[in-house]
Amino acid sequence: MSPNHATLCGQHAVADRQAAEAARIASKLTHPSVKTPTEINAMLAQLYDAVCGRKVDVRQATLLACITQLMLQTHKLAEVPPRTSA
């Protein structure tokens, strides 16, 4: 048993905390108010801090970072005016 969790061993208690932190960051990324590249960049900074502090599993962080990259790319595409055919 982990002293920080009544029903999980230490290893699973860490995994449980990391999953909760990843879910918290993911919910912020998907919040409707996160729209600009600056806001998305701030979320990436939080993700970076969470990985460095071992609050988020590296695999979870990798997935969130890939999704965030796609968000940034599609944001750029949305700003580009469509080409007109000549």
Predicted TM-score (pTM) of this structure: 0.60
Burial (CB count <10 Å: 0-12, 13-18, 19+), residue 46: middle
Give me the pLDDT at residue 81, please.
65
Banded pLDDT at 2 (limits 50, 70, 90) = very low
